[in-house]
């Protein structure tokens, strides 16, 4: 049977100490580029695999973190990808927990991950404030965790998300530059329409309208709806608005899926998106570039949010640097396509 390659084998081949090999694997910043390259080259040549169990027993650390998300899809996948890339660079393993947007399930997943000796958590919180007390108690225990995408009211811990207020301004200013003066806002159905990210995007929209001396946006909503997708809801809401004779020359949808439904309803009513009515969404999900009329949208920095969330959490785990609580908002970027122009405009 082939002998398992150990740390000493690598050190002997390179001609360095075992501690130097250890630094190359776990604290590469402590080595010069030339030495680091030599060690890692031999690690690959010999097929050395660190004994993670031995490392955990020795250091009393697991080098694992948990990521908790309320739903799965294009959006959370991109946040997770950015986060996992940063974790991999720092030799952490990431476990994913799914809460289905339920507060009680969120608590269960957090407690389960803590029982499994995760070193920290990144939480994309479910909407609402039901778990505020739970998260405050977690904070008092000084267990490392950070919020991604949305902060949590009344819980002052590290968070990173997108600047929804700025995004609302950028979207509306662009509509105004296209000559729009009667702008409609399409929010998601209740209760999501009352969530902070929606309200901030609408607030940004109305601030931009006020700056231009225009009236606030009219909201396109349906009174009563059953369980449905944002796409279908927006289609029905905009179709109903058009039947009622409501007038608007620009539409700002709170997210891309709403914009897709709005554009379908406009086209069915004979009002071509991008010609008679300008339409803009928020998120820049992958399908938006490939619609029959490609959608103008605010590009949500999903991967950057994941990457930054890991950085914030690692700082807590390692207890390194300035440990003051940070609330970081990353700027979205306006991506202009045929539904409202045809080029890319950086946020400004």
Confidence category of residue 345, pLDDT binned at 50, 70, 90: very low
Is there a single domain that holds both residue 107 and residue 134?
Answer: yes
Is there a single domain that holds both residue 239 and residue 295?
Answer: yes
Residue 2: pLDDT above 70? Answer: no
Instruction: Assess contact for 250 and 278: CB atoms under 8 A.
Output: yes
Is there a single domain that holds both residue 184 and residue 290?
Answer: yes
- Residue 282's pLDDT is 98
Q: What's the CA gap between 102 and 126, in Å, rounded?
A: 7
Is there a single domain that holds both residue 126 and residue 204?
Answer: no
For the chain, state the CA radius of gyration.
Answer: 25
* pTM attached to this predicted model: 0.79
Helix then strand then coil, in percent of the chain rounded to 5, is 45, 15, 35
Mean pLDDT within 3-23 = 80
Sheet with strand 159-162: strands edge to edge: 93-98, 64-69, 120-123, 145-148, 159-162, 327-330
Task: CATH number of the domain at 24, please.
Answer: 1.10.260
Instruction: Assess contact for 152 and 132: CB atoms under 8 A.
Output: yes
What is the Cβ-side half-sphere exposure of residue 326, based on CA atoms within 13 angstroms? 17
Domain-embedded: residue 149:
yes
Task: CATH number of the domain at 72, please.
Answer: 3.40.50.2300
Residue 28: pLDDT above 80? Answer: no
Domain-embedded: residue 2:
no
Residue 1: pLDDT above 60? Answer: no
Nearest one of 263, 177, 178, 179 to 220, comparing CA atoms: 263
pLDDT per residue over 120-148, tens digit each? 999 998 877 788 888 888 888 788 999 99
Domain-embedded: residue 1:
no
Domain-embedded: residue 12:
yes
Q: What is the mean pLDDT of the chain?
A: 87
- Residue 344's pLDDT is 38
Domain-embedded: residue 286:
yes
* Tokens 């010999």 belong to residue: 46
Domain-embedded: residue 24:
yes
* Total tally of structural domains belonging to the chain: 3
Domain-embedded: residue 56:
no
Is there a single domain that holds both residue 26 and residue 150?
Answer: no
Is there a single domain that holds both residue 145 and residue 294?
Answer: no
Residue 347: pLDDT above 70? Answer: no
Is there a single domain that holds both residue 169 and residue 228?
Answer: yes
Structure tokens at 46: 């010999």
Helix axes 132-140, 103-115, angle to 10 degrees: 20
- Residue 145's pLDDT is 92
Is there a single domain that holds both residue 146 and residue 77?
Answer: yes
Is there a single domain that holds both residue 120 and residue 135?
Answer: yes
* Tokens 């200013």 belong to residue: 173
- C-alpha dihedral sign at 78, 83, 88, 93: negative
- Residue 12's pLDDT is 87
Domain termination site, one of 30, 50, 70: 50
Domain-embedded: residue 212:
yes
Is there a single domain that holds both residue 222 and residue 138?
Answer: no
- Residue 60's pLDDT is 61
Quote the domain boundaries for residue 12: 7-50
Is there a single domain that holds both residue 194 and residue 281?
Answer: yes
Of 13-22, 95-104, 177-186, 203-212, least confident by mean pLDDT is 13-22
Q: Which of 4-18, 120-134, 151-165, 269-283 has the highest mean pLDDT?
A: 269-283
DSSP characters over 265-296:
HHHHTT--BTTTBEEEEEE--GGGGGSSSPPE
Q: Residues near 56 by Cβ (< 8 Å), separated by ≥ 6?
A: 62, 63
Q: What's the CA gap between 136 and 131, in Å, rounded?
A: 9
Is there a single domain that holds both residue 192 and residue 294?
Answer: yes
């Amino acid at each position: 049977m082939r002998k398992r390659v150990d740390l000493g084998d690598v050190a002997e081949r390179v001609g360095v100490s075992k501690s130097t090999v250890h630094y190359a694997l776990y604290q590469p910043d402590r080595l010069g580029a030339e030495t680091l390259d030599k060690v890692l080259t031999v690690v690959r040549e010999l097929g050395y695999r660190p004994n993670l169990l031995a490392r955990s027993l020795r250091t009393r650390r697991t080098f694992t973190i948990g990521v908790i998300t309320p739903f799965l899809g294009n959006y959370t996948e991109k946040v997770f990808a950015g986060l996992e890339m940063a974790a991999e660079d720092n030799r952490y393993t990431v476990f994913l927990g799914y809460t289905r947007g339920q507060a009680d399930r969120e608590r269960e997943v957090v407690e389960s991950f803590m029982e499994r000796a995760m070193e920290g958590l990144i939480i994309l919180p479910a909407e609402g404030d039901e778990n505020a007390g739970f998260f405050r108690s977690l904070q008092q225990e000084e267990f490392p965790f950070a919020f991604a995408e949305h902060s949590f009211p009344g819980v002052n811990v590290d968070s990173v998300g997108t600047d929804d207020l700025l995004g609302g301004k950028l979207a509306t200013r662009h509509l105004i530059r296209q000559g729009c003066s009667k702008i409609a806002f399409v929010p998601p159905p209740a209760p999501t329409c009352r969530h902070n990210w929606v309200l901030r995007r609408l607030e940004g929209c109305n601030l931009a309208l006020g700056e231009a001396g225009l009236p606030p946006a009219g909201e396109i909503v349906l009174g009563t709806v059953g369980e449905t997708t944002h796409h279908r809801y927006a289609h029905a809401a905009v179709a109903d608005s058009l039947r009622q004779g409501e007038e608007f020359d620009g539409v700002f949808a709170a997210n891309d899926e709403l914009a897709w439904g709005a554009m379908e309803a406009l086209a069915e009513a004979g009002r071509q998106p991008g010609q008679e009515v300008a339409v803009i969404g928020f998120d820049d999900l992958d399908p938006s570039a490939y619609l029959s009329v490609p959608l103008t949208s605010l590009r949500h920095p999903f991967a950057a949010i994941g990457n930054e969330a890991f950085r914030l959490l690692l700082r807590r785990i390692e207890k390194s640097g300035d440990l003051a609580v940070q609330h970081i908002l990353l700027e979205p970027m306006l991506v202009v396509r045929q539904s409202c122009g045809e080029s890319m405009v950086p946020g400004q």
